């Protein structure tokens, strides 16, 4: 079993907003990946956190009459609490107000000043004040000089500031995207980046003087480091890369470069262009993959508080109360906007997916199998002696293939693909039960051996499917483990999925994993 450091990150979330489905989604899909990798024995580090500096936080705090630090403390705690509530297994939670982060950011910026990658200069351009982002002339024109995010006009702005010499990285970035077609995914997002790159790169500001809530430039404290530069560095400050004498470095530096940096599509440019260029300038290795998912909309429309379709933590909690935490994880992972198109979070679709996949397929199959073992085999796992009616299927090689597919899909962050490979095992079991009809065979005691053989295959296949689904449905798989006496999960998924681990004679208790839910609830 090989153990490799694997590092996965979410964006760090702004503290001027409360957590909602978008944040929970990104963190949940990272959590599923992290749990899955841990189950395969990898040495995983999963990072999330909060982005606490900048004009927006300063303004929100002023509006509420509190200090920016007080606002950051309060909201960061809410994000932190949400992680616990949704059982998300991050290994660390970085805050950009952590002193360890702040001093390392200054170190990195100092290094960039020394190398000439950061210089003092003047800049003029179209500025989206809400997003704190400059637009190229073409992009500004395409947007009709209006922010597509806030709907407010872009402003013409000029600044005397420190700049990062992004333009110097144009050809190296072009070469990079050519050499590493899988760096930015999915493909549609990569093409978007390439298109914009062709327009040519401008240098980007790394400091501002129009606000004070942030990290000060080394040697020029009237300049505050631009929130995006500050924030991007979180991925490496959390590993202590800017301070080799720190504990963070000692414990975590092995995780760089990141395996997966998961973001939403709206922050692609920062992550796919500015971030790699900063890393190149610091002579640090680049992440293996930057994956930009699309957005959830809600009941067919963009989520908005005034439209009443906003999915906040309380709404998500209601889904959890009705359909369980695993039900929510399954829905997010299988129906979410992982590809290049947005996904619709709809109450009726949620209900249908839960009912079809979890109640009628996984839950029903496990309950049918355990009920029959209870009835025909005295509640104990039968022995498979080989003779079996119907179903020419080679279960050992079939489950092995599904396992390989599930692992390979998860490694490329294809969560729906991985889950569907596991669910295919369950469907096959269902079809096998229908085809061989052990409940009919059992009427004649002469068929006892065959019935046992069939039910062994069913139970063993469900066990393997459950192991593959454990990262997505941890609570329910734990329930199955207890009911079927399967022992605790190990970190060796491949051997756990080997055919024949289920020992004849084991007590197999009846399970009802996913209760049916009334649509109206």
Q: Could you say which of 32, 37, 49, 51 contacts ligand MSP (CB under 6 A)?
A: 51
Q: Considering only residues 290 through 349, tell me which ones interact with ligand MSP, judged by CB under 6 A.
A: 295-296, 303
* Polymer length in residues for the chain: 521
Of the pair 12, 105, the CB lying nearest ligand MSP is at 12
The least CB distance from residue 336 to ligand MSP, in Å, is 8
Helix (H) or strand (E) holding 92: strand 92-95
The least CB distance from residue 76 to ligand MSP, in Å, is 12
Q: What is the rounded distance in angstroms from the CA atom of residue 513 to the CA atom of residue 358? A: 8
Q: Could you say which of 30, 47, 263, 290 contacts ligand MSP (CB under 6 A)?
A: 263
User: Does residue 23 belong to the site contacting ligand MSP (CB under 6 A)?
Assistant: yes
Q: Could you say which of 183, 231, 415, 513 contacts ligand MSP (CB under 6 A)?
A: 231
DSSP label at 167?
A: G
Site string for ligand MSP, 352-381 (x = CB under 6 A): ------------------------------
Q: Could you say which of 78, 143, 267, 517 contacts ligand MSP (CB under 6 A)?
A: 267
User: Does residue 58 belong to the site contacting ligand MSP (CB under 6 A)?
Assistant: no
The least CB distance from residue 136 to ligand MSP, in Å, is 20
For residue 293, the tally of other CB atoms under 10 A from its CB is 24
Q: Could you say which of 154, 232, 421, 480 contacts ligand MSP (CB under 6 A)?
A: 232
Site string for ligand MSP, 280-299 (x = CB under 6 A): ---------------xx---
Both tokens assigned to 511: 């399970």
Q: What is the rounded distance in angstroms from the CA atom of residue 470 to the CA atom of residue 89? A: 14
Of all residues in this chain, which one has the CB nearest to ligand MSP in the complex? Answer: 22
Q: What is the rounded distance in angstroms from the CA atom of residue 334 to the CA atom of residue 176? A: 31
Q: What is the rounded distance in angstroms from the CA atom of residue 234 to the CA atom of residue 108? A: 11
- Single out the residue of 213, 225, 209, 115 nearest to residue 165, CA to CA: 115
Pair type for strands 92-95 and 343-345: unpaired
> Applying CB under 6 A, what is the total number of residues that bind ligand MSP?
20
User: Does residue 264 belong to the site contacting ligand MSP (CB under 6 A)?
Assistant: yes
List the alpha helices (DSSP H) in 377-414. 395-411
Of the pair 7, 14, the CB lying nearest ligand MSP is at 14
Q: Tokens 């009427």 map to which residue?
A: 443
Q: Could you say which of 7, 14, 169, 269 contacts ligand MSP (CB under 6 A)?
A: 14
Q: What is the rounded distance in angstroms from the CA atom of residue 185 to the CA atom of residue 317? A: 31
Of the pair 139, 481, the CB lying nearest ligand MSP is at 139
Q: What's the Cα-to-Cα distance from 485 to each of 463, 470, 502, 504, 511, rounded to whole Å?
A: 11, 15, 9, 12, 12
Pair type for strands 296-298 and 343-345: parallel
Can you give the binding site for ligand MSP, defined by CB under 6 A? 11-14, 17, 22-23, 25-26, 51, 231-232, 234, 263-264, 266-267, 295-296, 303
């Amino acid at each position: 079993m090989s153990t490799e450091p694997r590092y996965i990150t979410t964006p760090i979330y702004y503290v001027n907003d409360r957590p909602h489905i978008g944040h929970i989604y990104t963190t949940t899909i990272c959590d599923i990946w992290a749990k899955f990798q841990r189950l395969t024995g990898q040495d995983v580090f999963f990072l999330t956190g909060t982005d606490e500096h900048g004009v927006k936080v300063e303004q929100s705090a002023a509006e509420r009459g509190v200090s920016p630090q007080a606002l950051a403390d309060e909201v960061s705690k809410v994000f932190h609490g949400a992680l616990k509530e949704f059982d998300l297994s991050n290994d660390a939670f970085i805050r950009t107000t952590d002193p360890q982060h702040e001093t390392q950011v200054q170190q990195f910026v100092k290094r960039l000043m020394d190398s000439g990658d950061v210089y003092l200069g003047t800049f003029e351009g179209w500025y989206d004040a809400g997003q704190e982002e400059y637009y190229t002339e073409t992009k500004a024109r395409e947007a009709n000089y209006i922010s597509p995010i806030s709907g407010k006009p872009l402003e013409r702005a000029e600044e005397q500031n420190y700049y990062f010499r992004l333009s110097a990285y144009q050809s190296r970035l072009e070469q990079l995207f050519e050499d590493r077609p899988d760096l930015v995914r999915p493909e549609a997002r990569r093409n978007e980046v390439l298109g914009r790159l062709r327009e040519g790169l401008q240098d980007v500001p790394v400091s501002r003087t129009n606000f004070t809530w942030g990290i000060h430039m080394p040697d020029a404290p009237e300049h505050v480091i631009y929130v995006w530069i500050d924030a991007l560095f979180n991925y490496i400050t959390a590993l202590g890369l800017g301070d080799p004498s720190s504990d963070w470095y000692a414990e975590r530096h092995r995780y760089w470069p990141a395996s997966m940096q998961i973001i939403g599509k709206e922050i692609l440019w920062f992550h796919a262009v500015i971030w790699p260029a900063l890393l190149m300038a610091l002579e640090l290795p680049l992440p293996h993959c930057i994956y930009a998912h699309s957005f959830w909309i809600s009941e067919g429309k963009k989520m908005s508080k005034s439209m009443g379709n906003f999915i906040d933590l309380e709404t998500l909690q209601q889904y959890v109360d009705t359909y369980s935490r695993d039900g929510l994880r399954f829905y997010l992972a299988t129906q979410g906007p992982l590809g290049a198109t947005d996904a619709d979070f709809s109450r009726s679709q949620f209900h249908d997916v839960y009912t079809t996949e979890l109640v009628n397929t996984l839950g029903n199959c496990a309950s049918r199998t355990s009920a029959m073992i209870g009835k025909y085999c005295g509640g104990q796992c039968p022995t498979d002696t080989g003779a079996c009616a119907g179903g020419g299927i080679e279960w050992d090689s079939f489950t092995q293939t599904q396992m390989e597919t599930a692992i390979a899909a998860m490694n490329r962050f294809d969560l729906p693909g991985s889950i569907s490979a596991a669910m295919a095992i369950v469907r096959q079991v269902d079809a096998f039960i229908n085809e061989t009809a052990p409940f009919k065979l059992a009427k004649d005691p002469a068929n006892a051996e065959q019935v046992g053989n069939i039910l062994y295959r069913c139970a063993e296949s469900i066990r393997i499917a459950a192991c593959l689904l454990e990262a997505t449905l941890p609570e329910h798989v734990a329930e199955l483990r207890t009911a079927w006496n399967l022992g605790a999960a190990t970190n060796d998924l491949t051997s756990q999925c080997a055919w024949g681990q289920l020992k004849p004679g084991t007590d197999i208790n009846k399970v009802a994993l996913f209760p049916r839910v009334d649509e109206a609830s």
